[in-house]
A and B are shown apart, each in its own frame.
Chain A
Amino acid sequence: MAKLIRNPPFPFKSIQSSISFAFSCLILASIAATTLFSYRLSVDAVQRNSQGYIEEIIKQVNTNIQSYVDNMENISLLAMTSKDVKYYISDNTFISAEERRPYEKRISDLFQSILYTRKDIASIMVFGYNGRFVSDRRITALNPYAKLEEQAWYKNARDAGGKSVLSAPHVQNIIQNEYRWVVSLSRELKSTDGITAEGVFLVDLNLSVIDAICSQINLGKKGYVFIVDSEGNIVYHPQQQLIYSNLLSERIPEVVAASSGTSFIANDRDGKRMYSVQDTNFGWKIVGVAYTDELIANSGTIRSTILAYSLVGLAVSLLLSLLLSHRLTRPIKKLQADMKMVEKGNFGIQTEIGQMNEIGQLGRTFNMMVSRIKDLMQEIIQTQENKRKNELQLLQAQINPHFLYNTLDSIVWMAEQKQHEEVVLMTSALAKLFRASITRDQELVPIRVEAEHIANYLLIQKMRYHEQLDYRIDIDDAILSYKTLKILLQPFVENAIYHGIRNKPEIGLVTIRGREDGGRIVFEVEDNGLGMTPEQLARIWMPDDEGTRRKGIGIHNVNERIQLHFGHEYGIKIRSEPENGTCVTITVPKLG
């Protein structure tokens, strides 16, 4: 673990994990950054758009209110230019009360006809400085307690001297029993000479008109529109009562300072909001307030869309990084697997070489190394085998000295008996035997030679043990020309005589058979001697150790020799029964 910690930055064992991890970090970082930037950008774009949109709306509000004010202005012009009105309020004392009535009726009719077409106008009135007044109603009862001179619209109109004056919204109480919220436009009327002031004209616009214009504006759920005059007094505010109660404060100084068509952002405990200011040409400022979190009404949607896309992108790129790292590390893994095989001892492997990049070169070197190792191994095996063969050849070249002594003894004994023919036969057989043993040039001899050899051997042995031994050689003529190992059968015949027959009271029979069987050559050396117990049989197969080295050539040595020469599918089989004899089967390939 400590080692791992010391190996930053990727605490992974496999290159694939490290690569994937590195890729993933990169991807994650870049997607996070992209997402953040694109969100910021889209939010900015939306905010800019909605800013423009709000300015447009406020402009529209401005136009609407302007059109109402213009209308009032037009109505006032109509009244100003009316001869009846002029005559009525002019300071002419000669008109009697009765003469006045038709004038009043005509003026009232004029006002009424205007009022019929304009539902937004609350009332139209004219007050002459001579104390006369006319309204749009036939019978007008003025509020006796409302003093004309104290009304703001009246005073301001007189002060303005002929210019129209727009009041802030107020409750108009000049008519008895009527208390309406109105905006008043008032104007001083001059006489025909244009110098003498003769009265004040008043048009009241229902405030509900402006209220409707402003309250219908939709600037999000929380946004609203308010109006201030040029001094910063609130003309209209949907939450006016809260402002008067100090439960709400409005950014009046900033609004007054802002020029028309601009907007600014305020951020306090009420939230971040945008003020969009528009000047009217009659001195009011119309202000739209929109909460920025609502401006970007679909900011949630933007966010979740961007988020969804980035998550999908993330998933795709993570998958890609997995695939990519898999592709990159696949040759390494393949190489690793092949190395494992070599580790297990399979040197026949050659790793597949893809592209000739670093890993390809690694693979090539690996292949070269493995084949070199394989060659070396082969060489070692070859050397060992040769060594073994030589040893065996040496062994088999040795004539058992006892055999030689005994044979020579027999010859001497036969010579003494003057059995010349037998002496000649035995000596020549011995000589042939020796020649066969001494010739070391060839390992493989035709079966014919081997048959002769075993016949000579048995001849000698028969002469020595003629009362005890009988033999039969039964080798198929068809196989005589095939080749086999030299002195292959002699050890088994020797064993059959010495261990099977010699100590048997009756005469023993050794049978040697040779034939072809299923593409192979099969020899059998069978005796009807003492036979072996399974334990004895098992002991035969044990390799010689240095200590218990028996004389002659061990069965297993012969087996080994066969297998060295011909492969593991060939060799020796022994079956033996005590008191019944032993049969050795030797299988060798059919060699031409």
Chain B
Amino acid sequence: MRKQRFTVAMIVLLLVAVFYAAYWMKSLTTASADGKTVTVVLKSLNVRSDFWQTVSAGAQVAGKQAGAVIDMAGPLQENDAEAQIKALEEAIERKPQAIVVAPYAHERMPEMMQRIRDAGIRLVVIDTPLDVDPKPVFVGDDHREAGKLAGRTAVQETGSHPVAAILTDFKYSLVSEQRREGVLDTLGDFPGSVYGTYYAGDSEDRAYDVAMSLLRDNKPDFNVIVALTPATTLGAAKAIKETASGSKVRLIGFDSTIGEIQLLEEGVLNATVVQKPFNMGYLGVKAALDLLDGKSVSSTFIDSTVVSSANMYTPEIQKLLFPFIENQ
């Protein structure tokens, strides 16, 4: 009986010691970085692709802030969906805790998303929404809102009397169509403001031809061209310059390639709607990390910004237009 009492006492003490230890261990583990791993699969890893490099930079910053390990993957060339699927397969193989992917629209993509989920990996889709069920968390630009922004800029540039020719690439391009819808949404408030929509594909030359034919025919019946892609913007600008119709026809573009920046300086391009790829990469990884923390995460849409020659050298816009500090 006495022995038993004593053992009981010892057990109590041991338990106290164990709890004590457990308490310390717990505070120890919460203090240390929990080593989250996220693989980001982009559309291109090409160092010349400013857009994707900026996405990558944003992703890295989010990783650094959270002390997580961020892996970058993706095809070396743009528009290589097969290579991206291969990169995804390799990423699944490595079993990160989460995958952030900017997917190409490819028939095998829904299957890949399913495989990511089956492997128990958290999924965040950025840039291009995917029509898969259940819908993954999406972080990307609100293209329709960007289109509305372009439309509003067109209204401003024309003194609230816009007659717009919309120059875009393909009918089946999701992004361009959403932008177009946005533009039409805004212009819908101004009767007779839509001159027409012209599809010029993804080549600058084709866009130039289309714009030239429009400007030559034009007496002019429209006063603003809204070009929904960089290629169409450049083509339209070239046509405007050649026909010297800049005083009559305004040009609203999308994105900020170096050519567009120079056109902005020249004043041929009156305004361009610029995405924030850094924020997309940052918020995409942040959403993935939040998912890993068990928080509920909803899809995020990132605003675009209108850049004109007037604001292009303000600190904020500079950073958007020229994301990288050139290495010598």
A interface residues (Cβ-Cβ under 8 A, vs B):
12-14, 16-17, 20-21, 24, 28, 32, 119-120, 122, 143, 145-146, 168, 170-171, 173, 177, 179-181, 206-208, 211, 221-222, 233-234, 238-242, 244-245, 247, 270, 293, 299-300, 303-304, 307, 311, 314, 318
Q: Which residues of B contact A24 (CB under 8 A)?
A: 9, 13
Q: Which residues of A contact B24 (CB under 8 A)?
A: 303-304, 307
B321 within 8 A of A: yes
Q: Are A247 and B279 in contact (CB under 8 A)?
A: yes
Tell which of B57-65, B132-140, B151-159 binds the partner: B57-65
Q: A208-B325, A242-B61 are in contact. Are A307 and B21 (CB under 8 A)?
A: yes
Q: Are B67 and A171 in contact (CB under 8 A)?
A: no
Distance in angstroms between the alpha carbons of A179 and B312 in the assembled complex = 12
Distance in angstroms between the alpha carbons of A270 and B16 in the assembled complex = 35
Q: Which residues of A contact B20 (CB under 8 A)?
A: 28, 32
B266 within 8 A of A: yes
Which residue on B lies nearest to A176, using beta carbons?
Answer: B262
Distance in angstroms between the alpha carbons of A222 and B10 in the assembled complex = 45
Q: A145-B265, A168-B315, A206-B328 are in contact. Are A311 and B17 (CB under 8 A)?
A: yes
Q: Which residues of A contact B282 (CB under 8 A)?
A: 241-242, 247
Distance in angstroms between the alpha carbons of A40 and B78 in the assembled complex = 54
Q: Are A221 and B33 in contact (CB under 8 A)?
A: yes
Q: Which residues of B contact A300 (CB under 8 A)?
A: 28, 31-32
- Give me 6 other A-B pairs in contact (C-beta within 8 A), A17-B2, A241-B279 excluded: A20-B9, A120-B328, A239-B65, A242-B278, A245-B276, A303-B31
Q: A171-B318, A293-B31, A307-B21 are in contact. Are A208 and B328 (CB under 8 A)?
A: yes
Min Cβ gap B303→A in Å is 8
Partner of B325, one of A20, A207, A270, A318: A207
Q: Are B265 and A12 in contact (CB under 8 A)?
A: no
Distance in angstroms between the alpha carbons of A241 and B322 in the assembled complex = 11
Distance in angstroms between the alpha carbons of A299 and B58 in the assembled complex = 30
Min Cβ gap B265→A in Å is 4
Distance in angstroms between the alpha carbons of A245 and B320 in the assembled complex = 11
Within 8 A of A (CB), among B270-303: 276, 278-279, 282-283
Q: Which residues of A contact B17 (CB under 8 A)?
A: 28, 311, 314
Total residue contacts A-B, CB cutoff 8 A: 116
Q: Are A181 and B2 in contact (CB under 8 A)?
A: no
Min Cβ gap A219→B in Å is 11
Q: Are A241 and B278 in contact (CB under 8 A)?
A: yes
Q: A14-B2, A206-B326 are in contact. Are A28 and B67 (CB under 8 A)?
A: no
Q: Are A119 and B2 in contact (CB under 8 A)?
A: no
Q: Are B1 and A13 in contact (CB under 8 A)?
A: yes
Q: Are B265 and A146 in contact (CB under 8 A)?
A: yes
B interface residues (Cβ-Cβ under 8 A, vs A):
1-2, 5-6, 9-10, 13, 16-17, 20-21, 24-25, 27-28, 31-33, 58, 61, 64-65, 67, 258, 261-262, 265-267, 276, 278-279, 282-283, 313, 315-316, 318-328
Which residue on A lies nearest to B276, using beta carbons?
Answer: A245
Distance in angstroms between the alpha carbons of A76 and B76 in the assembled complex = 44
Min Cβ gap B99→A in Å is 22
Distance in angstroms between the alpha carbons of A24 and B13 in the assembled complex = 7
Which residue on A lies nearest to B62, using beta carbons?
Answer: A242
Distance in angstroms between the alpha carbons of A180 and B319 in the assembled complex = 12
Interface-central residue, A168, A211, A239, A245, by most chain B CB under 10 Å: A245
Interface-central residue, A242, A244, A270, A299, by most chain B CB under 10 Å: A244
Q: Are B313 and A171 in contact (CB under 8 A)?
A: yes
Min Cβ gap B251→A in Å is 15
Min Cβ gap A295→B in Å is 12
Nearest 7 A/B pairs, CB to CB: A145-B265, A181-B325, A244-B316, A241-B278, A14-B2, A17-B6, A207-B325
Q: Which residues of B contact A177 (CB under 8 A)?
A: 262
Q: Are B326 and A208 in contact (CB under 8 A)?
A: yes
Q: Are A171 and B322 in contact (CB under 8 A)?
A: yes
Q: Which residues of A contact B58 (CB under 8 A)?
A: 241
Partner of A170, one of B25, B266, B318: B318
Q: Which residues of A contact B261 (CB under 8 A)?
A: 179
Distance in angstroms between the alpha carbons of A260 and B7 in the assembled complex = 62
Q: Are B31 and A241 in contact (CB under 8 A)?
A: no
Q: A32-B20, A173-B265 are in contact. Are A208 and B319 (CB under 8 A)?
A: no
Q: Which residues of A contact B276 (CB under 8 A)?
A: 241, 245
Distance in angstroms between the alpha carbons of A180 and B322 in the assembled complex = 8
Distance in angstroms between the alpha carbons of A221 and B313 in the assembled complex = 32
Q: Can you give 22 A-B contacts (C-beta < 8 A)?
A: A28-B13, A28-B16, A145-B267, A173-B313, A181-B324, A207-B325, A208-B327, A211-B325, A222-B65, A234-B315, A241-B58, A242-B279, A244-B319, A245-B279, A247-B279, A293-B31, A300-B28, A300-B32, A303-B24, A303-B31, A304-B24, A311-B21
Distance in angstroms between the alpha carbons of A20 and B11 in the assembled complex = 12
Interface-central residue, B258, B262, B319, by most chain A CB under 10 Å: B319
Partner of B326, one of A173, A181, A242, A303: A181
Q: Are B319 and A170 in contact (CB under 8 A)?
A: no
Partner of B319, one of A179, A240, A247, A293: A240
Q: Which residues of B contact A318 (CB under 8 A)?
A: 13
Q: Are B67 and A222 in contact (CB under 8 A)?
A: yes
Q: Which residues of A contact B326 (CB under 8 A)?
A: 180-181, 206, 208
Q: Which residues of B contact A238 (CB under 8 A)?
A: 61
Q: Are A221 and B64 in contact (CB under 8 A)?
A: yes
Q: Which residues of B contact A12 (CB under 8 A)?
A: 2, 5-6, 9
